[in-house]
Amino acid sequence: MLRPGEDLLQVEERLWLLSAPTGQGIYDFAFDRFFACRRPYVLPESMEVVARVGVWNDYAERYRELAAAGIRLVHTPEQHLLATELPHWYPKLTDLTPRSVWFDERPDAETVERLLGWPVFVKGERQTSRHRKSLSIIEGPEQFRQAMAAYAKDPILHWQRVVCRELRPLRRVEEGAPDRIPSSFEFRTFWWKGELVGWGPYWWQGTPYTLTPEARHEALGLGREVARRLDVPFLVVDVAQEVSGRWIVIECNDGQESGYAGISPFALWRAILDAERETGAA
């Protein structure tokens, strides 16, 4: 049932978690150091479980394996795809996010130029490769050809469909390292069953930045609308501000797989546990 390194625990008798260390400080969290946790010898016949084990490339298969043992992940395979992959969430958010196209096979530069022009933002359908600027912000056809050659060999990108997006002028925070996407005024938001449970700066390691009350209202209002439209239990929405002041959606993700960025994991899980307590009381 459980794979090596996985741990099934109940947190404060409100939330079941399937966890495993990934070695990534921005993702891992020692639940039993901060919350009352137990690992019952006798498990209930059925339970809803949040997985915090990193990324499963075989999510649907893992969902079926666990379901056979009475462990129902908080997202069905269909909900996982809706939350995670741009080709699934983009059709519901076309008015809130940059214009995008995607390809089952790596496209040629002429096709991308015809559909979007230059420059473009290029990524895998789920993520970039460590925020590398040279593989993401593409100024013209020759750079695009070089990027596609690199995509074919990249361990993160080679199995993902290629997504090309209109490059929007985002408000900058700092330039960062030479081959890293510049830090924009971007924020990560977590939504649990439609309610906000955490938010913070996406680029947490560099120059500090935060939201004014007015900007917070706009940014979190956008995140709430996305959560309403996608309607999945545990959603991450990344939003950023354009130079014009407009807020747009950068990316959506399954909260099970997402790093915390500049959000306190303790505060996030405390908010989720409190929400579950209120649900139970109701």
Report the alpha-carbon distance of residue 17 to residue 37 in Å, rounded: 10
- Return the structure tokens found at 17: 């978690």
Where do we find the tokens 């030479």? 178
Is 70 exceeded by the pLDDT of residue 62?
Answer: yes
pLDDT in tens, 174-233: 987 777 889 999 999 999 999 999 999 999 988 999 999 999 999 999 999 999 999 999
CB atoms within 10 A of CB 10: 18
Spell out the long-range contacts of 275-280 with Cβ–Cβ below 8 A and sequence spacing 24 or more.
Answer: 275/192, 275/193, 275/195, 275/197, 276/14, 276/15, 277/14, 279/193, 280/14
- On the question of pLDDT at 123 being above 60, the answer is yes
Question: Is the per-residue pLDDT at 149 higher than 80?
Answer: yes
Task: Report yes or no: 219 and 187 within 8 Å, Cβ to Cβ.
Answer: yes
Which parts of the chain fold into alpha helices (H)? 31-34, 59-68, 77-84, 86-89, 109-115, 141-153, 213-230, 265-281
β-pair type (186-192, 137-138): unpaired
Angle among Cα 98, 102, 108 to the nearest 5 degrees reads 115
Cα torsion 187, 191, 194, 197 to 10°: value is -100
Please list, in sequence order, all residues whose beta carbon lies within 8 angstroms of the beta carbon of residue 31, skipping any fewer than 6 positions away: 9, 11, 17, 19, 37, 269
Q: What is the pTM of this model?
A: 0.94
CB 230 within 8 Å of CB 189: no
How sure is the predictor about 137, in pLDDT bands with cuts at 50, 70 and 90? Answer: very high
β-sheet bridge partners, residue 47: 71
Kindly report, residue by residue over 82-120, the tens digit of the pLDDT: 999 999 999 999 999 999 999 999 999 999 999 999 999
* Nearest CA-CA partner of 207 in 176, 162, 245, 177: 176
Of 268, 217, 258, 218, the residue nearest 237 (C-alpha): 258
DSSP secondary structure letters along 73-118 = ESS-HHHHHHHH-HHHHGGG-TTTS--EEEESSPPPHHHHHHHT-S
256: pLDDT strictly greater than 60: yes
Q: Is the pLDDT of residue 127 over 70?
A: no
Cα separations in angstroms, 191 against 53, 145, 223? 19, 38, 8
Residue 120 pLDDT: 97
Q: Which of 27-31, 123-127, 236-240 has the lowest mean pLDDT?
A: 123-127
* DSSP label of 61: H
Q: Would the pLDDT of 52 be above 90?
A: yes
Distance of CA 69 to the CA centre of its chain: 27
Q: Looking up tokens 């500049």, which residue turns up?
A: 262
